[in-house]
Chains A and B, each alone.
Chain A
Amino acid sequence: MNYQAMLAAILLIPLLGALLNGFLLRSAPRVVTVSVATLAIFIPFIFSCLLFFGPVNAGEVVRTDLFNWISVPFQGGHLDIPFALTVDRLSAILLLIITGVGSLIHLYAGEYMSHEEGVYRFFAYLNLFVFSMLSLVLGANMVVTFLGWEGVGVCSYLLIGYWYSDEANARAGMKAFIANRVGDLGFLLAMFMSVKLFGTVDYSKIAAALTNELAANNAPMITAIGLCLLLGVTGKSAQLPLYIWLPDAMAGPTPVSALIHAATMVTSGIYLMTRMSFLLVHSHTAMTTIAVIGACTALFAATIGLVQNDIKKVLAYSTVSQLGFMVLGCGVGAFQFGVAHLMTHAFFKALLFLGAGSVIHAMHHEQDIRKMGGLIKKMPITGWTFVIGTLAIIGFPGLSGFFSKDEILYNAWTGPFGHPLLWALGAGAAACTSFYMVRLTYLVFFGESRVEHAHGHHGHGHDHHHHHEIHENPLAMTLPLMILALLSIVGGYVSMPHAIMHTLGVHANENIITEWLSPVLASAKEVMSAGHGEEGHGSASLEWGLMGASTLVMLIMSGFALSLYKVGPKGGDSIANAVGGLYRLILDKWRIDELYQGVIIEPLKKVGDAFFKFGDRALIEGIINEGPRGIYLVTSVLSDVQSGLVRNYLKVVFIAMVALCAWILI
């Protein structure tokens, strides 16, 4: 099997799985559905590994044109957009994450959804999602990527609203879809402008066409493309100001949250920025805006995470915050560390979400951390893997999050577009991360168990469920946890800081991820070093200092959280009472949703109402209803002539006859 065919198979097998589960195997037994779905992701994973360690490792770019998709006359010539797939070193990383973490999550979901009826729908959507995500990262041009970009949005909508009989879930799905649409507009505009400027949407052709002269002559256009791409990124990757959909997206089943809203879909913005890095770096404005938005999102979402009580909501805001880190990394010019953090985040956040799902599954859909506690004794595997995930995300030295986050923070200070202020925002976000993650882990898994207490005033009708002893979940759920925990520990070594590398005596100029992505980022690097000299490299002492500072902050905040919540969830009340108003403001998520409701949605509704009243009701319905009514009024006079009475007709005949006779005679 050659590599081109393998590439096509990677894309098409998940689609096949979705079609099988969605149409042919609707009434198949659960085990068939789950096996088909999981295999449809696992086989592409094997192919991805073959590609990754084969041609991609050797530095080749595998490309296959499936068919000529769009062909239109354009500026005298022809604009041909083939349905082309390509895998280079960047998409290969994404490929491994999507199919690898994807198979683990499919395996897990088979068990997690074991109490549900009609899971074929769930797995068909999930496979369709993977297909869309793969076409997003494998697309050789912006249009194929856009197909995937829209596809993941649709699948996200379908899966968030999977339990659609509850209206809140359906609304959350719509919210996600609409917020994403706003971002998609940005992507579309960026695509149109690329066609205008370069006459092509193929990434490699754009890269070849974008010379320094062209960039200098079309600076406003380049900036506009960059900012439009950023709008797309804020939608898909849940950045300010469009992040609002992601926390609500937690209404979907937890494996969905792990796969779509932590590991893959939400990171597509980072992928896109890295893919277009050669263009973005030409615009100082765009890069700075990206960095500022990333840093602000990281801190902003982290503050909301501090006070949430729903286990999945904490993780959701944490995801927004970590995505902010990745965007910050891209914005300061350290695209490779954005990707590295994307990868480590995919590991530890998928782990945390699956761990949360394991807890929720064992607790029969209880998500309030105030009603948990002490679970580590009952669920040791879930508990300890969750602890590993927590240590990884807060950046405990030696675990994956430490390396990737530290490299981003270091570059936020010293990178080509970096600034100490950006570092400060990021460090603040990291401090908040340590606090809320330790709070979450401690309240769920340690301390006194508050589970029994919860029964008393939690009087659901189906309480007999709660009396079952809480116990560890089967291997299908814990195996993915263990694998992800292992990856969360070792995944970070690809982005080891220089200072540590030199201390350890590793003789390499760059760490693994930088080396690996250097072909993808070569032109971006060239532009950045031309514009900024060699200031991209700070000193080793600064690197050690920043590393030490963030470790210290992490330890202090973790210790602070531990000391506060040692006594249980009420431990934070004294601080909450001291800053009452602020606490309630953060608990209400800074009331951003209410702000959007008042400033955007309500006025839009009013405009819509006005259009409805004057456009729809008065104009369109006026023409459609009043026109025929006028015709009716005229014709009803005429139709009265046709009385239906024979004698009247006869009178007419008589009069006509007399008139005829008179006319003939006279």
Chain B
Amino acid sequence: MLTLPELGLYFSFLLFLVGLAGVMFRKNILFMMLSVEILLNAANLAFVCASKLTGTMDGQVVMFFVMAVAACEAAIGLALIIALYRTKASIEADDLKALRG
């Protein structure tokens, strides 16, 4: 019988796959952003569960850092998306390929 932290780890793995699929297959940058949030939360969940399993506080401390970074990332990312929409009138990722070789 799986303990709760172990279950949480497996769940965080599934959550990570969902986020990864979202980033890889979504074409709308807004949804890609949301998927990135899911990825970060999957990581957070893994940290917390790992912390519980090992009995140390390290994972939980890292989780707070990640949450702070995620908040910043969301603010900057959304600002970029708005700026992008103003210039390109589109937030489709496939429209943005100026760096093509």
Q: Do A and B originate from a single complex? A: yes
Interface residues of A (CB under 8 A from B): 638-647, 650-651, 654
A644 touches B100 (CB 8 A): yes
On chain B, the number of residues with a Cβ less than 8 Å from chain A's Cβ atoms is: 14
**Could you tell me if B24 and A643 are in contact, using CB atoms closer than 8 angstroms?**
no
Q: How far is B98's CA from A333's CA once the two chains are assembled, in angstroms?
A: 85
From residue 39 to 76 of chain B, which have CB atoms closer than 8 A to chain A? none
28 A-B pairs within 8 Å (CB atoms) are namely: A638-B101, A639-B101, A640-B101, A641-B101, A642-B99, A642-B100, A642-B101, A643-B97, A643-B100, A643-B101, A644-B96, A644-B97, A644-B101, A645-B93, A645-B94, A645-B97, A645-B100, A646-B32, A646-B96, A647-B23, A647-B24, A647-B25, A647-B27, A647-B93, A647-B94, A650-B24, A651-B24, A654-B24
Tell me, yes or no, whether B18 is within 8 Å of chain A by CB.
no
Which single residue of chain A is at the shortest CB-CB distance from B97? A644
Q: Does chain A have a CB within 8 A of B91?
A: no
In the complex formed, the residue of B with least CB distance to A638 is B101
Within the assembled complex, what's the spacing in Å between the Cα atoms of A349 and B24?
96
Q: Looking across the interface, which residue of chain A has its beta carbon closest to that of B94?
A: A645
Is B82 at the interface (CB under 8 A from chain A)?
no
Rounded to whole angstroms, the CA-CA distance of A157 and B91 in the bound complex is 70
- How close is A551's CB to chain B, nearest CB, in angstroms? 94
Q: Which residues of A contact B23 (CB under 8 A)?
A: 647, 650
Question: Quick one: which of B79-100 are within 8 Å of A by CB?
Answer: 93-94, 96-100
Please report the C-alpha to C-alpha distance between residue A16 and residue B96 in the assembled complex, in whole angstroms: 68
Does B20 have its Cβ within 8 Å of any Cβ on chain A?
A: yes
Question: Are A644 and B98 within 8 A (Cβ)?
Answer: yes
Chain A: minimal CB distance from B34 (Å): 15
Contacts of A642 in B (CB 8 A): 99-101
Given A638-B101, A640-B101, A647-B25, 9 more pairs with CB closer than 8 A: A641-B101, A642-B100, A642-B101, A643-B101, A644-B101, A647-B23, A647-B24, A647-B94, A654-B20
CA A643 – CA B27 in complex, angstroms?
15
Residues of B within 8 A of A650 (CB): 23-24
Nearest CB of chain A from residue B24's CB, rounded to whole Å: 5
Q: What's the least CB distance linking B93 to chain A, in Å?
A: 5
Cα–Cα distance between A126 and B20 once the two chains are bound (Å): 86
Q: Which 3 A/B pairs are nearest by Cβ-Cβ distance?
A: A644-B97, A644-B100, A639-B101
Please name all residues of chain B whose beta carbon is closer than 8 Å to the beta carbon of A640 when the two chains form the complex. 101
CB distance from B15 to the nearest CB of A (A): 16
- A646 and B32 CA atoms in complex are apart in Å by 10
In the complex, A650→B26 CA distance in Å? 11
CB distance from A632 to the nearest CB of B (A): 12
Residue of A639, A642, A646, A654 most packed against chain B (CB within 10 A): A646
Nearest chain B CB to A652 CB, angstrom units: 10
Chain B minimum-CB-distance residue to A651? B24
Please encode chain B, from 1 to 39, with 1 for each CB lying within 8 Å of some chain A CB and 0 for all others: 000000000000000000010011101000010000000
Chain B contacts of A647 at CB under 8 A? 23-25, 27, 93-94
